[in-house]
Amino acid sequence: MDNKKLGIIFLVISIVLIIILVQLMSGLNTKAKELGCFENSGCIKIESSFSITHFAFGFIGFILALGFYLIFFSKDEKAFVEAIEKSKNKELEGDKFELISKGLDEYEKMVLKAVKDQDGITQNTLRLRTNMSKAKLSYVLRDLEKKEFIIKDKKGKTNAIFLKKNI
């Protein structure tokens, strides 16, 4: 159940119970005055009822506070779960990338890391970032494309390089 709905339910229950207890205490107070119980020691039943109602007020106050907390201050469980899943997925992606790069040579690792840092990077920018010659970069990109780690997309006179989604 949604925390806000649960909080509203707690608030409504608390308000109804407070109204009932106030009416009960008013009735007990009237009865005590009629019997003269405050001056008479024979009214133990009414005094014990007052003690129970004081305890009930404390319990209802707790339920009321819990209702306010759930409505206004509690994070939604869905947002909490999504944040955990997002963090876990990011961690898994990093682990997967590390495993993949263990099987690559030093140039392929450099290129793959640069593409991962900026997906859709142009081949010219990639050449500058990795400090490779055009021929060496073309060779490395061709190997990575054969291994199905990247996708080349023609962009004017150069190529845009993208990571495959499974990396």
Q: Give the count of domains, the chain.
A: 2
User: Region 5-10: what's the mean pLDDT?
Assistant: 84
Classify 158 as helix, strand or coil: strand
| Whole-prediction pTM | 0.47
pLDDT of residue 167: 64
Q: Identify the CATH number of the domain in which residue 111 sits.
A: 1.10.10.10
Instruction: Tell me, yes or no, whether 68 and 16 share the same domain.
Output: yes
**Structural domain of residue 7, as residue ranges?**
3-74
Same domain, 85 and 125: yes
Q: Residue 47 has what pLDDT?
A: 67
| pLDDT computed for residue 42 by the predictor | 56
Q: What is the DSSP string of 102-120?
A: HTS-HHHHHHHHHHHHSTT
Q: Give the residue from 1, 119, 136 showing the smallest Cα distance to 71.
A: 1
- Judged against a pLDDT cut of 90, whether residue 94 lies above it is answered with no
The string of pLDDT tens digits covering residues 99-150 is 887 888 899 999 998 988 888 899 999 999 999 999 999 999 999 999 888 9
